[in-house]
Chain A
Amino acid sequence: MAGAKEIRTKIASVKGTQKITKAMEMVAASKMRRAQERMRAARPYAEKMREVIGHLRLANPDYRHPFMIDRAVSSVGFVVFSTDRGLCGGLNINLFKATLAEIRQWQAKGVDVHLCVIGSKALQFFRRLKLNIVASATHLGDKPQSASLIGPVTAMLDLYKEGKIDRLYMVNNHFMNTMSQKPIVSQLVPAEATPSPDLQPLWEYIYEPSAAELLDGFLTRYVESQVYQGAVENVASEMAARMVAMKSATDNAGKLIEELQLIYNKARQAAITKEISEIVGGAAAV
């Protein structure tokens, strides 16, 4: 019966693990709902902001904000969003692969790369690669606040203003639906122009009070909204990915238990058969 006992302990331990993964799945599911609501709520603002700034790039104000001037690229910056905790499937590693591909492309052209990493997973990963990490922020929680994001991003923007970075990108997971999240790289500054069919061929804004006063406020709002959107979208992706990962872990544990149960039953039956044949053999000998 030694084999059977071992199997029984193993089944109990797998059941324990299954309970944990099941609980994590449910926690992730409920967090995902809230994260998704936050993301949905913030999306229209971020999209409209991007559009307005895109239009602004097509206009020709008398004042040019540094965030609106394209420069020759000799150095680029990336703001990379990741999660703080693991157990969320391939979410982070897919994002890092996409980022790394982008970084290698720039490096092949002889361009310097500076990084701003959000989330401890990205910090661990990029630190190992010995890349130049300028700023980092970790443990922002499930409800990222603009206030805590703006610090590290401002560090990047300052480098941009000083001319040490000529272009700043943002990498985050885009929440497509619960089952799929896709890493996307988007350009933060200089803001990209978005031509739209609504626009008339020759036009210029009236600026009230003046372009200089307005644009500073507009572009600060623009960066804040884009970064915040990136963060909430990444959190929603994290929760969805974790939920799916934990669900498949729970299912796998279930399958494992079934198999183990079968082996256990066979071992137990074999032991009984053996005992009976021993008794029968003993009785015959008498």
Chain B
Amino acid sequence: MAHTINVDIVSAEGQIFSGEAAMVFVPATQGEIGIAPRHAPLLTSLKPGEVRVQLASGEEQLFYVGGGALEIQPNRVVVLADTAARARDLDEAKAAEAKARAEAALSDRSDTIDVAEAQLELARAVAQLRAIERLRKIKS
């Protein structure tokens, strides 16, 4: 019990992950944080990126989040993701397309485009691509 921490990853589209983990890494807005069991209570927001969950067996699971919020209590972690997906469900082609679209939107700086939104979209697409790449590395 003392060596694991209860992790819940939920998004508006459903429950993504629930279980015990030895260690969790999340992309907080002020840099990635690693959470070990009995972490101090913490509240923070997340930026687009990947959540890595190390299970007690040593296996590592990868999730993609598009931003969100995080609560830590000594024996549990709750990730409230805006959009979350298991990294292996991600579609590389779609992510690359989204990246291209966001970049095009950014380079075309007319008034009609919300730059902040395009930047967020770009950050999400890049984070998705990175999650896919990492997953591929783990597999090979």
Contact = CB atoms under 8 A, between A and B. Distances in A.
Interface of A: 40-42, 44-45, 48-49, 51-52, 55-56, 59, 198-200, 203-209, 211, 214, 217-218, 221, 225, 228
Smallest CB-CB A-B distances: 7 pairs: A41-B14, A44-B15, A208-B44, A44-B10, A206-B42, A205-B43, A45-B10
Contacts of B71: 52, 55
8 contacts: A41-B13, A42-B14, A45-B15, A48-B78, A206-B40, A207-B43, A208-B29, A209-B44
B109 to A, nearest CB: 27
A208 B80 contact: no
A265 to B, nearest CB: 56
Contacts of A55: 71, 73
B124 to A, nearest CB: 17
B89 to A, nearest CB: 15
A56 B41 CA distance: 11
Chain B interface helix/strand/loop/mixed: strand
Nearest to B84: A45
Contacts of B78: 48, 51-52
A195 B13 CA distance: 27
Contact of B43 (A40, A41, A56, A228): A56
Contacts of A217: 45, 69
Given A55-B73, A206-B42, A208-B28, 8 more contacts: A41-B12, A42-B14, A45-B80, A198-B73, A205-B41, A206-B40, A206-B41, A207-B44
B10 A218 contact: no
A208 B28 CA distance: 9
Contacts of B15: 44-45
A118 B16 CA distance: 30
B119 interface: no
Contacts of B74: 200
Interface in B64-96: 69, 71, 73-76, 78, 80
B43 A218 contact: yes
Given A56-B43, A203-B41, A206-B40, A198 B12 contact: no
Nearest to B76: A198
A49 to B, nearest CB: 6
B60 interface: no
A206 B14 CA distance: 27
Interface string B1-23: 00000001011111100000000
Contacts, number: 70
A49 B71 CA distance: 10
B11 A206 contact: no
B107 interface: no
B41 A208 contact: no
Contacts of B10: 44-45, 48
Given A55-B73, A221-B69, A214 B43 contact: yes
A42 B12 CA distance: 5
B104 to A, nearest CB: 25
A205 B30 CA distance: 16
A44, A206, A207, most chain B CB atoms within 10 A: A44
A48, A204, A211, most chain B CB atoms within 10 A: A48
A56 B42 CA distance: 11
A221 B41 CA distance: 20
Nearest to A225: B12
A24 to B, nearest CB: 29
Contact of A204 (B28, B41, B45, B75): B41
